[in-house]
Structure 1
């Protein structure tokens, strides 16, 4: 039993590292192509399907915990991303301007997430931990993308 719990824990950590690396690579490539409003708003729309996880009783958490996770994403994790995401107009196209700090902020947020994940997992199940971190990520993504959308529209 202990071996399977550790396998889940380390598998989760490995997946987090893979996803974190993928986010960094996608983000770096995105700055080389023009962006569109669709490219800005689709990630939160696609991610919103993750709320279906709450159909399962295993992932349900108290409402106050859910609000706390959303608030942490919005208030702690979104502002650095918003601050380092800017656009520039090149001819008729709009490009996401890459900040030098962005990569360090993403890595720092990732490290904070890993550290928090270990702490949270001591108090709730693996499924509930996943649910809370989904809410944290969604809380971070929506304000970031809304800010990007505003900046994009201002440039147009």
Structure 2
């Protein structure tokens, strides 16, 4: 990977993850004062999906079964705390996400677990490969969480705002 020191790359990726976690906490706290929409549910995973372009670079690639394990770990393990902390409520005919006091702690806990796993995994794979693995893990987590949000939204939303039913 060029002349970039791997330890600097690792420190930079960890600081980037901490910054992103703090940004998510701030954005999530602000979002609880605005109504939830289908667009707001699906834009984060759609935007994140552009990250798959990193696999164009050969140094980031790894076996497909590694990707499957990372995705399923995010889907079944890391998404669970986010799903448990996401509660919707109806106010004035609109749906809002309730502020969860535990959400910030859950995100910071997930970041801590991610950092510890990153240290373990970096012993066996390169820094770019571990970045790709953790991207796929995060993508599995976000997609599962947002799918849960979408389903919950459809249960609570008035029929005219749902995508799953035809409009008259």
**TM over 0.5: same fold?**
yes
Residue 6 of structure 1: how far off its partner (Å)? 2.0
Q: Once superposed, what is the RMSD of the aligned Cα atoms? A: 1.6
More off after superposition, 129-138 vs 50-59:
50-59
Between the aligned partners of 2:122 and 2:3, the Cα distance in structure 1 is: 15
Secondary structure (helix, strand or coil) at the match of 1:100 reads coil
Aligned to 2:140: 139
> 2 CA distance for matches of 1:122 and 1:2?
20
TM-superposed CA distance for 1:134, in Å, is: 0.4
Query: How many corresponding residue pairs?
Result: 156
Maintained 8 Å contact 2:33/2:96: yes
Shift >3 Å, 4+ stretches: none
1:43 aligns with: 44
SS of aligned partner of 2:59: helix
In structure 2, runs of 5+ residues without a counterpart are 158-168
SS at structure 2 position matched to 1:33: coil
Structure 1 gaps of 5+ residues are none
1:101 corresponds to which residue? 102
Aligned with 1:95: secondary structure? Answer: strand
Paired residue for 2:80? 79
Q: Name the structure where helix makes up a greater proportion of residues.
A: 1
Distance 1:97 1:150 in 2: 16
TM-score (norm 2): 0.88
